[in-house]
Amino acid sequence: MPLAVLDIDVDAMPDRLPDMAGHDGAVVLLRIAGLPAGQAVLPAPVATSGPALREQLYDHADSAFWEALLRHRLNAPALIEAPTTLPSATVAICTRDRTEDLENCLNGLRRMDHQAPILVIDNAPSTDATRQLVERYPQVRYVREPKPGLNNARNTALREAVGEVVAFIDDDATPDRAWLPTLLRNFADPTILAVTGLTMALELDSDAQIAFQRTGGFVRGFKRAVLDAGNCDPFHAWRAGAGVNMAMRRSVIDQVGWFDPALDAGTRSLAGGDTDYFRRLLLNGYRIVYDPQALNWHRHRRSMAELQQQIFGYEAAAFAVWTKALLFERDMRVLPVFARWLRGQIPELLRSRRSDRNPLPFNVAATQARGAMSGPGRYLQARRIARHG
């Protein structure tokens, strides 16, 4: 059964929610004074009246919410000062043949409190549908990137954008009204080159979406963090955030270079372009901010086949990035990372043989192992294609 996705401000509780019949519970984003503060996972039956709902929310709220509520009640100072001015920015959407998702994203961007130029990068499209859709939005600029690969599209966005910052959002995501200015406020610190935000599930209607959310989804917590190589292992840089919700200074290419065209969707490597870039930022001594108040909503993969491919792709991409570091950057620090993965994965593979431990129709640990083992070869193939076509 599906889970409802709710967005509730405890300072402005609704008198009544719609009937939750047909739902097996709810995942609730909890706000305080309009700002994301935590979440609650509610079992069925979900209360629908104000007082009963408040009691249920408080019973199931996470620790991040209670910490934020205490700070709010004590009038504690804000964790980040609001800057007097924001840097100029372009919002970039890299897309391929997903006009329904893209339309939802564009409509969400039009509703934002802070407007900026919008750039749609159409990556190796199979039809003209995306261009035709964008023509209905006169404030949106369309650029076609013929070379397949999400990182090729990201590099085109960095070249074509105007302003100091490029804010990336996936075509299957929808921004919160305050998403863009919240990302941009973090660039008041000149040592920050990239910022990521919180991504919540847009819907939890299928078993695959619920399974992905229960593994953590794209949520990296509700506490703002300033990350560097000292507190975030560059070889696990996915902890800094994800490309679905990230912004970076355009000058980053002068310090770190371009996105690797042999990584991410549209290549044999399948994913990993954002993680690799965060890794390179951290290894070069720069900092990344994770700001959970920069919120967007993502439509997770709806089918089990898509989820299995996603899990396979994430592991393949991790090993692709580590292979790149070892073979082409001669970074021996990645060897213990390989060893730790094996130490953790082999026992997990043995445990996964017990069917009663796996609620999914496929073996997650085996899927991860197959992806990981394919990663090095996939990267070498993708690198050769990127260089020679």
Helices (H), 178-303: 179-185, 207-214, 252-255, 273-283
Nearest to 179 by CA among 244, 245, 80, 120: 245
CA distance 119 to 122: 10
pLDDT at 358: 63
Alpha-carbon distance of 53 to 46, in angstroms, equals 7
Q: What's residue 388's pLDDT?
A: 87
Q: What is the pLDDT of residue 77?
A: 83
Query: With bands split at pLDDT 50, 70 and 90, how would you rate the model's confidence at 357?
Result: low
Q: Dump pLDDT digits (tens) for 18-50.
A: 888 889 999 999 999 999 999 999 999 999 887
Question: 293 pLDDT exceeds 70?
Answer: yes
Please give the pLDDT value at position 251: 95
Whether residue 347 is predicted with pLDDT greater than 90 in this model: the reply is no
Q: What is the residue-averaged pLDDT of the chain?
A: 95
3-state secondary structure of 129: helix
Arithmetic mean of pLDDT, 271-289:
97
User: So what's the pLDDT on residue 224?
Assistant: 96
In our burial notation (b when 16+ CB lie closer than 10 A, e otherwise), range 136-159 reads ebeebbbbebeebbbbbbbbbbbe
pLDDT tier for residue 362 given thresholds of 50, 70 and 90: confident
The per-residue pLDDT for 385 is 97
SS3 4: strand
Of all residues in the chain, the percent with pLDDT exceeding 70 is 98
pLDDT tens digit sequence for 196-243: 999 999 999 999 999 999 888 899 999 999 999 999 999 999 999 999
**What integer pLDDT is reported at residue 356 of this predicted model?**
59
**Burial class of residue 161 (count of CB atoms within 10 Å of its CB; 0-12, 13-18, 19+):** buried
Q: Which amino acid is residue 326, in one-letter code?
A: L
Give dist(CA 158, CA 146) in Å, integer.
Answer: 16
Note every long-range contact of 154-158, with CB atoms under 8 Å and residues 24 or more positions apart, other chains counting.
154/92, 154/94, 154/121, 154/243, 154/259, 154/273, 155/258, 155/259, 155/261, 156/121, 157/90, 157/92, 157/94, 157/119, 157/121, 158/250, 158/252, 158/253, 158/258, 158/259
pTM for this prediction: 0.95
Per-residue model confidence (pLDDT) at position 78: 79
pLDDT tens string 106-123: 999 999 999 999 999 999
Q: Which two tokens stand for residue 134?
A: 């964008």
Stretch 92-100: mean pLDDT, rounded?
Answer: 98
Q: Residue 346 — pLDDT band, cuts 50, 70, 90? A: confident
Q: What pLDDT does residue 216 have?
A: 81
Q: What mean pLDDT is predicted for residues 166-182?
A: 98
77 or 74, which is more confident? 74
Asked if residue 361 has pLDDT above 90, the reply is: no
Which residues, other chains included, contact 154 with Cβ-Cβ below 8 Å and sequence gap of 6+? 92, 94, 121, 168, 243, 259, 273
**Model pLDDT for residues 303-330, shown as the tens digit of each residue:** 999 999 999 999 999 999 999 999 999 9
Which domains, ranges and CATH numbers included, belong to the chain?
A: 4-73 (no CATH), 89-298 (3.90.550.10), 304-388 (no CATH)
Output the pLDDT for position 215: 82
pLDDT at 354 over 90: no
Q: Is the pLDDT of residue 359 over 70?
A: no
